[in-house]
Amino acid sequence: MTHTNAATEPAGRVLVVDDEKPLAQMVATYLARSGFLVTVAHTGVQALDEARAGEPDVVILDLGLPGVDGLEVCRQMRAFSECYVLILTARGSEQDKLVGLGAGADDYITKPFSVRELVARVQAVLRRPRTGTAVAQHETQRVFGDLVVDLAAHKARVDDAVLALTRTEFSLLVALSAQPTTVMSRRQLIDAVWDTSWVGDERIVDVHIGNLRRKLDETRPGEEFIDTVRGVGYRMGSA
C-alpha cells in the first residue's frame, strides 16, 4: 500500500517495514503528511520485493519480522540498493544495535520512539549530501596508493576491484580523504556525514569505520588505509 499527501514532487520515497500493522500505518501517515511518498510492507519477502520495485530513498526496517528477519532483509537489500536504512527495533541492547549496523544499516531507532523524531531522522538523512562532504567542482577522484575514491562515479576501488560500500561508508571515506593528514574526531565525522543536528551514540562512527576497514582489508589484507589515532579519531593511512 502506498501513501502520499502531495500532488507535487514528493520529499522522498520511504519504505516502512513492520509486522505491527497499526504502527506501520501510523508511521506511514506521519511521513505522508510531511510530503513523502510512502510504501508499507509487513514481511521480509514483501519488503525485498517493494525495495526492488520502488527504489526507495529510505527504508525504515523493523528487525523482528516473520519469516525473513530484518537483519537478513538488510543484508540482501545491500546487494542491490544504496538506500539509507534506519533500523526500528525493540531490541535495545548494544550488541543488537551493532549487529544491525554491521548488516549494512545506517542508523537505528529503539522502540518505543517518538514518531516526530523518526520523521526528523528521515528528513535529516535525505539532507545529507551524496558524497558526505563538500567536493570541489573540478575534483573527480582522490588516489591513495592503490585506493581510488571516485567522486564522480560515487565508488571506491582498490586496483580494479570496486568496493561494495554503503552510502554511509562511502561518505566517511570521502570525509576522511578530503583532509588526509588531519585526524577527524567522531563528532567531526558525524557533522560531515550525518548532520550537525544528529543526536545519538557517537560510537556509531566506530561501527561504520570497522565495516569500511573490513571491506578494504578483503581486497588488500594487512594494508592500513585508515588509521586510528587513539583518544582522538581517524585519518587516512599511509597504505
Helix/strand number for the chain, H first, E second = 8, 12
pLDDT of residue 159: 85
Which of 82, 121, 73, 89 is CA-nearest to residue 23? 89
pLDDT of residue 132: 43
pLDDT of residue 73: 94
Residues in a beta bridge with 42: none
Please measure the distance between the N-terminal and C-terminal CA atoms of the chain and give it in whole angstroms: 49
Enumerate residue ranges in the chain where pLDDT < 70: 1-8, 91-94, 96, 128-138, 197, 199, 238-239
Bridge-based pairing state of the strands 161-162 and 107-110:
unpaired
Which of 213, 189, 215, 192 is CA-nearest to residue 203? 189
pLDDT of residue 111: 81
In the numeric block, which cell numbers belong to residue 146? 592503490
Edge to edge, what strands does the sheet with 37-41 contain? 2-3, 37-41, 13-17, 58-62, 84-89, 107-110
- Pair 11, 31: CB distance under 8 Å: no
pLDDT of residue 167: 85
> Whole-prediction pTM value?
0.72
pLDDT of residue 103: 81
In the numeric block, which cell numbers belong to residue 211? 565495516
Helix (H, G, I), strand (E, B) or coil at 223: coil
pLDDT of residue 129: 57
In the numeric block, which cell numbers belong to residue 125? 538523512
Domains of the chain: 2-127 (3.40.50.2300), 141-236 (1.10.10.10)
